[in-house]
Structure 1
Amino acid sequence: MKSKIYEGIHNEERGGMTPTANIIRDAWVLGLLPEDETCEGWTIQGIEALYDKVSAAWEPYGHLVSNLPPDLRERHARIYEAAVSQARAAGWNPELDEND
């Protein structure tokens, strides 16, 4: 069985506004990955392992941005504001339609 390969956060449809992209962005915020790591070429198993690490790293903060220390809260805002801006520029619309 051939493993599915992830296309990378910057190659995703919908401007990268997906649960997988959020895992990667959270890994950037929490210092688990450098911000230039797009995860392009990773197996789905690798992404799942990253999800487990991200989830564990969020636990001390109750999985809430408001509980992050100021430096991480600022990094979170910077990373997510840039992602939303880039996604909108790529045509992403946060309004759900019948297919979402």
Structure 2
Amino acid sequence: MNRNKTYVGLDDDSYGGMTPTGTIIRDAQVFGLIPEDETCAGWSIARIDALYDQVSKAWHPYGHLVSQLPDELRARHRRIYDAAIATARARGWSADLYPD
């Protein structure tokens, strides 16, 4: 992977960020690691990787399971992901696009 590349941002990513990078960004928003309006447009791959490390550490106490999140975080997760799914569907995304 070219380490000089930059991320296009959630708004310009496939179906509004229905990608592994989009998941990292939304999880970072859930945990308050970045503001909820941060799309990470223009971020380097190295910066996204560093965010991934932070997100992974934030998930660790909860076993990486939404069901184990405290109520406040679980509600924030639902709100952020429900909005992302609605945006993605409006752009033609369907979970059926990924049969595996």
The normalised TM-score by structure 1 is 0.92
CA contact (8 A) 2:15 2:87 kept: no
Task: Quote the residue 1:45 is aligned against.
Answer: 46
CA contact (8 A) 2:3 2:46 kept: no
Q: CA deviation at 1:96?
A: 3.0
Q: CA deviation at 1:94?
A: 1.2
Q: CA deviation at 1:8?
A: 0.3
Question: Are positions 1:57 and 2:26 aligned together?
Answer: no
Q: Supply the AA of the counterpart residue of 1:88.
A: R
Q: Residues 18 and 2 (structure 1 numbering): CA distance in 2 closer, same or farther, change over 3 Å? A: closer
Q: Supply the AA of the counterpart residue of 1:40.
A: A
Whole-Å Cα distance in 1 between the matches of residues 92 and 31 of structure 2?
28
Task: Quote the residue 1:31 is aligned against.
Answer: 32
The normalised TM-score by structure 2 is 0.92
Q: CA deviation at 1:16?
A: 1.4
What secondary structure does 2:4 align onto? coil
> Stretches of 4+ moved more than 3 A in 1?
none
Q: CA deviation at 1:46?
A: 0.4
State the number of aligned residues: 99
Task: Quote the residue 2:7 is aligned against.
Answer: 6
Q: CA deviation at 1:32?
A: 0.5
Whole-Å Cα distance in 2 between the matches of residues 41 and 96 of structure 1?
27
Whole-Å Cα distance in 2 between the matches of residues 50 and 42 of structure 1?
10
Deviations 1:64-98 (A, max 9, x none): 10110000000000000010011000111211368
- In structure 2, stretches of 5+ residues that fail to align are none
Q: Residues 97 and 42 (structure 1 numbering): CA distance in 2 closer, same or farther, change over 3 Å? A: closer
Q: Percent sequence identity over matched residues? A: 61
